[in-house]
Amino acid sequence: MYFRTHIQQNQLGLLFRRGDFRRVLPPGTWTLPGLWLGMDRLQIVGVDATRFVHPDLATLVRQPELRERLVVLDLAEDQRALVWRDGRILDLVGPGLFAYWREPHTVRVETFSVADLRFQHAQLDAVLDLPNARTYLVAVDVEAHERLLVRRGGELMTTLGPGRHAFWTRAGSISWKAVDLREQIADVQGQEIMTADKVTLRLNLVVSWRVVDPVASATQVENVATAVYREAQLALRAAVGGRDLDRILADKDAVAAEVRDGLARRVATFGAAVAGVGVRDIVLPGDMKLIFNQVIEAQKRAEANLIRRREETAAARSQANTARLLAENPVLLRMQELESLGEILKGAKVTFVLGQGDLGQQLKNLVATAGDE
């Protein structure tokens, strides 16, 4: 008895006898004896799927006739492989045994070691889009203002800039931290500080700063923002404690400059830089504010009195100079008299004819005559 079968173009036949692989049957029509006796078994497999999956794969790939038709991958625990079919990504696989048909497609394989920690590839986005990519890879997007610190087992491995980065998930204990390089603002809220002349006041400080060394900022202090805030408080206390109240109120910029210089030296040790420092508010105790208001009021009153005295002195000096000029110049005195008379008679509808002699005496006589009438 014979068994007749047809194998299609996208198929191959695997012939087994008594459970052992015998040969590969290419596409075509075949007449096989003995199948009815159960001695032979024919398994038809498709090759379009490219990947060859079989429960006896480990045994089959050792058969020369079958192996020459396959691309076989035997990956160790620290290996991963990327499989391409006709120039497109087909599969991403980890440790184990895998086989892919060489035809009818062109198969290419890239092998990687997870010891490299970071996965770099020109087609990174396409690889990450694979359904099983999350099994083997983890991706991190780093913004333009960030730097990524990558650690393995607590050891700092590398620092990465902006872009998308991928890491093997089983490359040891991997962790990462993004460090922000943008300028930040720290509001140092009012703290009670005693000046050199034993006056207690509160100051509010504004500090602008940024990270310039991501590695130092992550390894020297636990939290950069907290460290900057603490150092700003200490620098402010040092600057205020060395000045009396009048100097602080007279020149806040000098206080800010001293705080900036001292703070810049300290934060540089943990990878930060100070962009600017400003004293925003100076808050005095209630009784001290009343005293200062009284002092300022007295100062302003004294300044007003001084200005008034100066004006009175200037006016008296001007009058004395005028009297001296009139006494020395009779003509000028006559003109002054006429101007005065004009001011007196402004708006009056009368006509006066004055003769020679003293103008003032004539006016007196004229007024007396008018009174008699």
Q: Residues 71, 111: contact at Cβ < 8 Å?
A: no
Mark which of 180, 204, 219 sits at the end of a domain: 180
Residues 207 and 233 in one domain: yes
Consecutive H or E run containing 163: strand 163-168
State the pLDDT at residue 143: 93
| Cα–Cα distance, 301 to 309 (Å, whole number) | 12
Q: Per the domain annotation, does 340 fall within a domain?
A: yes
Q: Based on the structure, what is the number of domains in the chain?
A: 4
User: Sign of the C-alpha dihedral, residues 66, 68, 69, 74?
Assistant: positive
With the CA atoms of 358, 360, 366 and 370 taken in that order, what torsion angle do they form, in degrees rounded to the nearest 10?
A: -170
Residues 222 and 188 in one domain: yes
Mark which of 139, 159, 180 sits at the end of a domain: 180
Taking CB atoms within 8 Å and a gap of at least 24, the contacts of 54-57 are 56/21, 57/97, 57/99
| Cα–Cα distance, 185 to 257 (Å, whole number) | 17
**Over residues 334-354, mean pLDDT:** 63
Q: Per the domain annotation, does 171 fall within a domain?
A: yes
Residues 276 and 189 in one domain: yes
**pLDDT tens digits along 261-289:** 999 999 999 999 999 998 887 777 655 55
Q: Per the domain annotation, does 5 fall within a domain?
A: no
Q: Which residues pair with 110 in a beta bridge?
A: 82
Give the range of the structural domain holding residue 319, as residue numbers without chain letter. 285-328
Mark which of 160, 180, 200 sits at the end of a domain: 180
Pairing of strands 70-75, 96-101: antiparallel
| Cα–Cα distance, 108 to 136 (Å, whole number) | 19
Q: Per the domain annotation, does 175 fall within a domain?
A: yes
| Cα–Cα distance, 102 to 281 (Å, whole number) | 77
Q: Per the domain annotation, does 168 fall within a domain?
A: yes
Residues 202 and 240 in one domain: yes
**Over residues 44-50, mean pLDDT:** 90
Residues 165 and 206 in one domain: no
What is residue 51's DSSP assignment?
B
Structure tokens at 235: 């620098």
**pLDDT tens digits along 244-255:** 777 777 778 888
The letter for the amino acid at 82 is L
Which of 45-49, 68-72, 352-356 shows the lowest per-residue confidence on average (mean pLDDT)? 352-356
